[in-house]
Structures are given as C-alpha cells and as structure tokens.
Structure 1
Amino acid sequence: MNILDDNARALKPAGGVLDQVRAGEPTVWFNPSLPQASSAFAKIDLPVMGVEEAVSRWRRFAPLLACLFPDAHGTEGRIDSPLLPLSPDLAIRITDGLSKTAFVKADHALPLTGTIKARGGVYEVLVYAEELALRTGLIGNKASYDILATETARSLFAQHTILVGSTGNLGFSVGVIGRALGFNVEVHMSSDAKEWKKARLRNLGVRVVEHEADYSVAVAGARDSASKRGSCHFVDDENSRLLFFGYSAAALDLAAQIKTSGTEVSEQNPIAVFLPCGVGGAPGGVAFGLKSIFGDAVQCVFVEPVASPCMLVQLAAGTGRPVSVYDFGLDNKTAADGLAVPQASMLVAEAMQHLVNAVVTVSDDSLFSWVGTLFDEAGMKLEPSAASGFAALARYLKGLRMQGGRLPSACIVWTTGGSQLPAEEFEKVLAQARVL
C-alpha cells in the first residue's frame, strides 16, 4: 500500500472530508478528539508560561523598537493592531445570518511589516540580538535595550548572518528588523513568492536566494546554507519555539481589546477566532495563547486554501508521521501565496491536535471576492490570504450548527497582510475580484 492509500484509510473517520480535499472543494474538518482546555495543556510539550515570558520580552524590546523605527507613530515600540468592529449588516452577510457581531483583528495593518509574521519574525531576531549582546557584555540584565541601536551594537551584529526560508512575509519581517539592527540577512524564497516581495527585500540590502520549488524546499535551502557557516542564526519556520511564542503573546493583546469592547466571553457565550494557516506557526501560537486565557470559551478555527490544506490533512491523518498535500493529489498552487505550504509544522500539529476546534478550506475565488467586498465596504486593503477568514466563517458556523455545537456570540477574523501591498499589485487583486 502506498502512502496515498494509507493516508486515505487514516482519514476515513473524518467522514467525507477526504473526498472533498482530493477534489479541491471547500470543506470543514471538526476535531473529533478535542479535549477540554483544562486538560489539553498537560498533553502538549510546550510550556504555558512561555506566553507570559514572551509578553515580558516584548515589553523589554519596546524601547529598542521605538528607537529603531521612530516613524512608527503611536506604537511606542509595541507591535499590535486594532480590533475593528464590523457593521451589523456586514457581520450578518459574512456569517450568513448566524451572527450580528463580528470583529477584525487587523494584522494586515500591523506596524513595521503589515503582516502577522512580524509577531514571530521580529521577536526571534530580537531574541537572537539579545543573546549576542548579553554574551558579549554589551548589555547587562538591567540595561536599557535601546543600546542595541548604537553603532557599537551594529558592529557586533554585522559579524553575524540571519537566514530564513519564506514565501514572502516572514522573510520580510526578518529582513526589516535584521537589517535595522545591522545583521546580514539571507532569505530563501519559494517559487510561490511574489516578485514585489523579493524586490522589497533586496531594497533593504537582504540577499535573496530564489528556488524553483515550493516553500519546503526554500526552508531546506536556508537550513542547509546555515549549516555550512558559523556566526549565523537560522529562523526555522517549521520548528521554532521562539516564533511560536512570539506569536502567542498576541493573545493577551486581543484579550484586553475584547474586554474593552464590552464583549462577554464565557463557555455559554464563546467567541470564535478565524486564523489563516500556512505552515502553522502563527495561528498555532495565537491559538495556544487564546486557549491558555479563555479555555473552552474560545473556538479556534484555522483556514487554509483548498490547494494547500496541510494542517487539515496532518491533523485528520494523525501526528504519527508527517503527511503532505501532495499525498492527496493536490498541487499546492494558490493565489494565497503566504499559505502555500505543502506540509505542516509537526511541532505545531502535535500541539493543535489538542487545541484547534476546526479547519476550514476555502477557494481562491472566494478570497478575491472578499478582498473586493472588504475594500469597498470597510476600506480594508488585504492580500488574498488575509481574506481567508471571511470566506470560512459562514461555512464553519453552518457546520457547527448541524453538529449541534454552541454557536459563538461573536466572531473575530484575523487578517494577516495587505497594507504594504504596492498600489499596482493591489489593483491587480481588485481587478481579479471584479470579474468574479
């Protein structure tokens, strides 16, 4: 029996999901073995205290970020985005009448990079800079971290290289902070990466290495390059705990915003959070943080393109061994380049099997359609991947109702990129939306 047949057998308990996955049709996979949150964390080899540690580190880094990026007005060195309420009419349309309350966690407008990847990529580079500075005595435990913006620090960091594999947004986040600190940065880009994303990296002084293959090959290329040199740090998007916990800190920011909004959150009045998923680090970290705060009062839903549902097939098949979308006859070709990943992070999948409520897949046409709608009616400038949560929301709610689950009292769509799209690139996306 080959791996395709074996994985097909493994997925049969997921009902008709396998047939829909193979056919490239939108579908919903509900986690059949989701434990209560109170017992879930005991099954996960990641410490809950890692969330608070990441929050504390972000606070230490704030003066440095404010010094490095003085034009990021109003951030005071914080990397966070607003929680935007949608009008009741738009909320009703997005949810197909199943909810009147919906918000957007607007990471498409996140400071510095306009993408959620800043929460992980910037964090990991800052941690590496901190380690180098402590090791060399540049800073003491009580020193102000803005010393890392001095020429003395830049001379130290210039002796080191940071490497990462990316379809675009993680590479940009690593490039922005790495070059601002004075590091050499090398980004290995997959064939899915947009040309304008490569160009903006080169404009920062980043070395871009292009691969005529997918995301996994780009990551492998960066890993191999790092193994052959000294004085370097490889940002491992597939296995990095630093990335994971950098993302997780966003949950505390969201929790404070939810409280300010006056939204009640309880197991009787849960919220649902829709998170675009590529390799899994960003949505996994956020989900980990949210479940640690809200427990079963939050429903975490991952959203993937129909051509690249790597987390869905991994979770549905189990985490005994890695599986790929290619094993199920899919080509991993999608307009949502940031989500074009053939194989999920096993680090994340092993945690998410105990935390994620569902995975929804969506078509590229639906992504373009929602990009147009959100721009016309809410003034939001989104990449296709950033619109994925809107395309998934009604399908999830209908599936949840059919299963007899508790519908959320409020839905939150996490957007991931778009505000820094060049005007001509966004016009192309809108043109595609207009013809649907």
Structure 2
Amino acid sequence: MTKGTSPDYSDGITSKDVEEAYEVVKPVIKNTPLERSGSISELSGANVFLKLENLQRAGSFKIRGAYNLLSRMRKNVVAASAGNHSQGVALASSLLGLKSLVVMPQFASPVKVAATQEYGAEVILYGESFDEATDRAKKIAAETGAVFAHAFDNPYIIAGQGTIGVEILDQMDDFDSIIIPVGGGGLISGISTYLRGKGYKGKIIGVESEKAASMQESLKKGVPVKLESVATIADGIAIKSPSQLTVNICKKYVDSVVTVSDDEISSAMFTLLERGKIVSEPAGAAGVAALISGKIDVKGSNVVALISGGNVDMTLLSQIIEKNLLEKGREFVISFIVNNTPSEMKKAIELFSEMKLNIEELHTELFGEDIGVGKQKIRARLKIYGNDDLSKIRARFDSYGFRIVELRGAKF
C-alpha cells in the first residue's frame, strides 16, 4: 500500500503494513493495558489476560483503523455504521481537520448517534440495517467525491486495527492463544496478519454471536456468505456478511471461529462488571463469553482475550444487570395474594425484614383474574442479604399463608 493512493484490495496486508500503521496512529491513540484477570482465569481454568480496548479513545479499537486510513487520504469522509466505526471515523476526522458524514440505521442506539455527533460528524439516519446504511453511504461518497471508509473491507482499516497486535507482543511475548471478537473480520484480520508475520505459532480464535455467525459460515464455504438476519444484542459484531478480503485473510491465519449466545454474552458482561470492574459492550465481551462458557478449551494455558469496546447503552446494561441478578439468585421477583387489609401488608413487610430481604420494587393490584374479592396482589422485587437459600425463603412465605402466584429467579 502506498501513501495517498487508493487501497489495492487484491494484495491484503503484511505485518510491515501494520507496523507502518502503528507509527501513524501511535501519537493519537492510547496504548491500552493488558491485564491479568483473576476472576476470568478462575472461571475458565486458564491464565487470562485482557487487552482493554474499551479504554481506547472513543470507547473502542475503531479509532486505529479510521485514523490510519484518513491520515493517508486527507479527504473528507463518508462512512456507514451502527455504532463504534461511526465514532472512530468522527473522531479521526476531527483530529485531522476533515469533514465526516456517517449514515446510521434508523434504529441505531440514540446514545451512539449522539456520541458520533459530539465527535463532529454529520449523521444521517437511513434504512433498517447496516447494509442499507452502507449502500446509502457509498452513493453519497460517489456523488460528493469523499472517501468511503468501509468498516472492515479496506487494507488501511485492517492494518490500523492490527496495531493492537503490535502492543500485545510488546506487552506479553508468551501466550498460547488469543481470542478476538469477529463481525466483518477487519479486527481479527489485522491482528492475525501481524502476529503470523512475526512468527506467532499459537492459536488465533475468533468469536461471533451465534445469531450473526457470518464469518464462520463463510470460512466453511470459502467465500463470503450473507445471512438473512443478525438479531443479537451484540450490535458491534452483527454483520450479515464479511468481505472477500477478510475471509481470505482469516482462511490463511485464523485457527477457528466459535459462536456464543446472547445469554452467554450477557453473563460475561455481568462478570466483567462485577468481578473486574470492567464495562464492556456486548461485542466486546464475546471472547470472555466463549472462555467462561467452555466454548474454547484453553485450560492451563496463557490466553489473551480482547475486550474490543465499551460503548454499551445504559438501558441495555441495566437490563443485563437485573437479568443476571435474578438468574444468579441475588434478587428475585415474587407475587403473592393476601387479604386487602393494612395488617396483611404490615405482615408482608415484617417478613421481608425478618428474612433480610431488601425491597427494590413493590406495587399492589386489586383487580385481576387471580385476585379474589377482598384480596390484593403484592408484587415485589427483592434483594437477598441473608444466608438463606431461596427454597427456604419460599417456605417462609408459605408458612405465612401467602398464596404465591409468580416466582422468578433461576435458583427457585
């Protein structure tokens, strides 16, 4: 690849391209930490080190590729993205004094739309998918003469993302495998190209959402496969089809691609937050999800797992926290029928206190098919502070004569 020219899509990239990209991006990016995680190591049976790109500027690795491309093109830019790529392009453009326009799907996260605008980009909401937004962005770029910055199908973008590999080898030269989230494949293509070019012999493993496993299917066929839908909470890796370029690179350098469920991603995010104090977006936690769910056999080995970003919608994060608190038996939701008298409500509150159950939410209903005349339904979300297991808590409710009609919490 030559400075100032259009990328040559036929030749892919080399480790030298990644090294050159690192010299370009190094002044503007953070050299993010690579830290051992005791909790993830314990849960996976491996010695796990987390590369924390959630601490990168704009909240993800995307600034690396965007800045590497735009610093060479020096032209105004148009991009399409549902989230992180848009923020990376907007920030890179701002740093270089360029104008940026980003086309985002109509239902993109309002938080990510606002963040993209705050970094200086003009945002157009168009279409219902990344593909529709991409088609619109390409048309605008052609009409205006701007550079179209594809999220992954571009050698400069791939080389920029690969600079993470430069830092990892500098931070740790003895690891048996590296686990990388996969969407369109630009990130894993860049890192794997650099590592293999430097003689790395360990395993390089990609992780996709099981609802968006386009790279896994493409590697089976040897050509890009386009999925019908990609309905997953991991919007950062919800890509219907990789490119021929990224498929070719992954065929050459990547050992395998595994998939994880939304529930496994949700659990990994909760674990990272609670045990590691690490805020990860769903896509960023895919690698950790694969480790702690046992999708990858790495017991007893040194493993690097990439947390690729931390741009998570707060509403989604709160849902994930509540879901995991319920599933892990730390909170539970209960509805029960009592007489519609003040003394019955008092008795219920006294029971909560006696059993060290903190009221997180409580409301009552007087009307419903399961509520008789003179009765009321109390519905409460309760946090457990005592040592009683949930079966004992249920027995105590029964002993008070409360008729339970709803009980949610995985350990009941």
- Whether the 8 Å CA contact 1:44–1:351 is kept in 2: the answer is no
The equivalent position to 2:22 in structure 1, one of 46, 55, 58, is: 55
Structure having greater relative contact order (Cα 8 Å, sep ≥ 6): 1
Among candidates 258, 267, 288, match of residue 172 of structure 2? 258
Q: Residue 91 of structure 1 aligns with which residue?
A: 41
Cα displacement (A) at 1:351: 1.3
Counterpart residue number, 1:417: 309
The residue that corresponds to 1:247 in the other structure is: 161
1:371/1:433 contact within 8 Å kept:
no
Match of 1:210 among 92, 114, 125: 125
**Residue 365 (structure 1) aligns with:** 263
For 2:49 and 2:267, how far apart are their aligned partners in 1? Answer: 19
Counterpart of 1:147 in structure 2 is none
- Size of the aligned set, in residue pairs, is 317
Amino acid corresponding to residue 294 of structure 2 in structure 1: R
Q: Which residue of 1 aligns with 2:363?
A: none
Partner of 1:313: 217
* Corresponding residue to 1:113 among 58, 61, 66: 58
C-alpha deviations, 1:374-400, integer Å up to 9, x for none? 1111101111111111111253434x8
Distance change in 2, residues 1:204/1:48 (3 Å): closer
- CA 1:163–1:395: 2 relative to 1, 3 Å: same
TM-score by length of 2: 0.72
Map 1:322-361 onto structure 2 (within 5 A): 322-326=224-228, 331-361=229-259
Cross-structure match for 2:205: 301
Q: Which residue of 1 aligns with 2:71?
A: 126
The 1-side partners of 2:40 and 2:245 are apart by 37
Flag as ranges the 4+ runs of structure 1 deviating above 6 A. none
When residues 161 and 51 of structure 1 are mapped into structure 2, their CA distance, relative to the original with a 3 A threshold, is closer
Partner of 2:325: 434
Match of 1:315, SS state, is: helix
Whole-angstrom distance in 2 between the partners of 1:45 and 1:242: 10
Relative to 1, partners in 2 of residues 1:397 and 1:337: Cα closer, same or farther, differing over 3 Å? closer
Of Structure 1 and Structure 2, the greater strand share is in 2
Report the identity percentage. Answer: 23
Deviations 1:82-138 (A, max 9, x none): 001011x54131x2x3x2x1110000111x212011221222222223xxxxxxxxx
> What is residue 294 of structure 2 aligned with on the other side?
395
Q: Of Structure 1 and Structure 2, which has the larger fraction of its residues in helix?
A: 1
* Preserved contact between residue 206 and residue 257 of structure 2 (Cα < 8 Å): yes
Q: Distance in 2 between matches of 1:176 and 1:426?
A: 24
> Deviation at 1:325?
1.9
Counterpart-to-counterpart distance in 2, 1:432 and 1:163? 38
Indicate the residue corresponding to 1:132 in structure 2.
Answer: none
Contact 2:17 2:159 in 1 (8 A): yes
Which residue of the partner structure matches residue 74 of structure 1? none
* Cα distance between partner residues in 2 of 1:359 and 1:191: 30
Give SS of 1:430's match.
helix
- 1:203 CA drift (Å): 2.9
Unpaired runs of at least 5, structure 1: 1-42, 66-77, 130-159, 266-270, 401-406
8 Å contact 1:102–1:411 — kept in the other structure? yes
Q: Which amino acid letter does the alignment assign opposite residue 192 of structure 2?
A: A
- Contact in 2 for aligned 1:192/1:215 (Cα 8 Å): no
**Residue identity opposite 1:380 in structure 2:** I
8 A Cα contact 1:192 1:340, kept in partner: no
Q: TM-score, length-normalised on structure 1?
A: 0.68
3-state SS in 1 of match to 2:58? coil
The structure-2 alpha-carbon separation of the partners of 1:412 and 1:339, relative to structure 1 and needing over 3 Å to count, comes to: same
- Residue 352 of structure 1 aligns with an amino acid whose one-letter code is C
RMSD of the TM alignment (CA)? 2.2
- Structure 1 position 249, deviation (Å): 1.9
Structure 2: give runs of 5+ residues left out of the alignment: 1-9, 328-412
Matched residues in 1 for 2:30 and 2:73: separation? 18
**8 Å Cα contact 2:215/2:225 also seen in 1:** no
User: In 2, Cα distance between the equivalents of 1:191 and 1:305?
Assistant: 22
Contact 1:186 1:208 (C-alpha < 8 Å) held by counterparts: yes
Whether contact under 8 Å (1:214, 1:341) holds in the other structure is no
Partner in structure 1 of residue 141 of structure 2: 226
Alignment deviations for residues 19-73 of structure 1 (CA, whole Å, 9 cap, x no partner) = xxxxxxxxxxxxxxxxxxxxxxxx97433321222233235xx1xx3xxxxxxxx
2:326 & 2:98 partners in 1: Cα distance? 44
Q: Which residue of 2 aligns with 1:80?
A: 31
Distance in 1 (CA, whole Å) between partners of 2:108 and 2:254 is 28
